[in-house]
Amino acid sequence: EHMKWTAWVDIVRKSEDQLRQRVAWALYQTQVLVGGLLDSETEPFLAFYDIFVRNAFGNFRDILKEVSFNPLMAASLSFLNSKSASRAGNSKTFPDENYAREIMQLFSIGLWELNPDGTQKLDSQ
């Protein structure tokens, strides 16, 4: 396990595409995962991190799409094995909307509506 991490660090440090590696690291920092998921599983983390390397110079929508289908994010935000109301056959069962809320609040639009200059829009505006 330690050797896998060492190999990853060597690739990142010695890679000729340093700008891509640094942008990928910065983009990775925008996506929150539960820490315990990464403690023992190197391969899933590397697959998750590769999303940011591949899309370092792409657009944020592609990153969000790939992250949304990644099993680490599914486990981290509790939508893994979540059932929709129609699939559960029970009108009292509701789909897990945690991920949708997290995407909107943490990863894209934020908690508040903003003015074009980036200041928070107030009720009177």
Is 70 exceeded by the pLDDT of residue 84?
Answer: no
Domain count, the chain: 1
Residue 93 inside a domain? The answer is: no
Identity of the amino acid at 52: F
Contact between residue 67 and residue 73 where contact means Cβ atoms under 8 Å apart = yes
Other beta carbons within 10 Å of 56: 19
Task: Indicate the pLDDT class of residue 39, thresholds 50, 70 and 90.
Answer: low
Residue 110 inside a domain? The answer is: no
Q: pLDDT value at position 119?
A: 87
Task: Indicate the pLDDT class of residue 70, thresholds 50, 70 and 90.
Answer: confident
pTM equals: 0.67
Residue 119 inside a domain? The answer is: no
Residue 95 inside a domain? The answer is: no
**pLDDT tens digits for range 10-36:** 888 888 998 999 999 889 888 777 655
Residue 61 lies in domain = 2-81
State the Cα–Cα distance between residues 58 and 56, nearest whole angstrom: 6
